[in-house]
């Protein structure tokens, strides 16, 4: 375990692998577990785990939350509640492959939002990357068919994934507004508030669509997402940032794409089409260029 926590390559692989399973598991149980219920129980199960890790810091960090409650609520509503519920809802109507490819535009949208909100410098190469990444997303969402773009006849699930991707990008851009507390305390408070935000929507869904079934597939999916995609994935990513920096950690976006496509093909039997390959190529090149630093910038 010590070796894993101090190995950048291993942390990168483990984090990417477990994050990529989020779309595969969500799609795999889309006809069994309602979307809000999956999001609610995924995070509710993690609460005692994050509480145990954050326990030594919770009382110490409590006073630091006084001036940041509004931001914490905002970040929780976006990153924990809205993003996950929307993604699981979208997976009822589209494939896991489309999910990981469209979601891969997050770094590109983050660059664009950072420029729009903070006037963060954007160079010519980065602009080219933004354009290529956006084209890659359009190729995937249109299935490579011009008439889909012309008539705006996109799959509703793909559109919702795009909305979720924008939400996550907004969450990331405003993340520096978070309280200056220990990372485990932040995750506990973030998840606790996000779970409370999801609660009324979960109760409504429970009445309108039926409760989450207590069977092996549903419980297994929730436990897997809670332990591996949520706790290990998020803490592994945080450790990777501390160990190697944000730029190296950003490479996980590419690995999540690769793992997600392979896992969707192997476990869900999804087909990988030529337009997927074209979109993937444009997204990888676009994300790489968009994340580059350049001396001459706007």
Q: What is the mean pLDDT of the chain?
A: 85
Distances (CA, A) of 52 to 57, 233, 285: 10, 17, 41
pLDDT of 66 higher than 80: no
pLDDT in tens, 154-186: 889 999 999 998 998 888 888 888 888 888 898
Closest CA to 100 of 60, 147, 140: 140
pLDDT of 211 higher than 50: yes
Higher-scoring residue by pLDDT: 183, 50 = 50
pLDDT of 145 higher than 70: yes
Average of per-residue pLDDT across 101-118: 79
Its pTM stands at 0.87
Q: What percent of the chain is modeled with pLDDT above 70?
A: 90
Beta partners for residue 123, in sequence order: 297
Per-residue confidence (pLDDT) for residue 150, from 0 to 100: 73
pLDDT of 127 higher than 90: no
Give the confidence band of 296 by pLDDT, cuts at 50, 70, 90: very low
């Amino acid at each position: 375990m010590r070796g894993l926590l101090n190995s950048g390559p291993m942390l990168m692989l483990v984090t990417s692998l477990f994050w990529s399973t989020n779309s595969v598991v969500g799609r795999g149980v889309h006809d069994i577990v309602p979307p809000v219920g999956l999001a609610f129980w995924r995070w509710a199960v993690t609460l005692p785990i994050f509480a145990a890790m954050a326990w030594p810091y919770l009382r110490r960090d409590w006073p630091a939350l006084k001036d940041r409650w509004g931001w914490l609520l905002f970040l929780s509503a976006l990153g924990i509640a809205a993003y996950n519920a929307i993604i699981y809802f979208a997976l009822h109507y589209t494939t896991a492959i489309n999910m990981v490819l469209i979601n891969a535009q997050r770094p590109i949208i983050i660059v664009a939002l950072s420029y729009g909100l903070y006037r963060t410098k954007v160079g010519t190469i980065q602009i080219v990357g933004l354009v290529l990444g956006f084209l890659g997303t359009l190729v995937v969402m249109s299935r490579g068919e011009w008439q889909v773009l012309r008539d705006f006849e996109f799959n509703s699930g793909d559109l919702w994934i795009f909305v979720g991707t924008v939400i996550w990008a907004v969450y990331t851009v405003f993340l520096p507004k978070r309280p200056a507390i220990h990372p485990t305390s932040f995750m506990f408070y973030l998840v606790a508030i996000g779970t409370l935000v999801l609660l009324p929507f979960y109760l409504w869904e429970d009445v309108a669509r039926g409760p989450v079934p207590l069977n092996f597939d549903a419980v297994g999916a929730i436990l897997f997402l809670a332990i591996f995609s949520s706790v290990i994935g998020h803490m592994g990513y945080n450790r990777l940032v501390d160990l190697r920096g944000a730029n190296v950690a950003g490479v996980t976006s590419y690995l999540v794409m690769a793992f997600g496509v392979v896992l969707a093909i192997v476990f869900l039997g999804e087909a990988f089409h030529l337009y997927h390959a074209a979109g993937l190529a444009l997204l990888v090149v676009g994300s790489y260029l968009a994340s580059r630093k350049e001396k001459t910038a706007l």
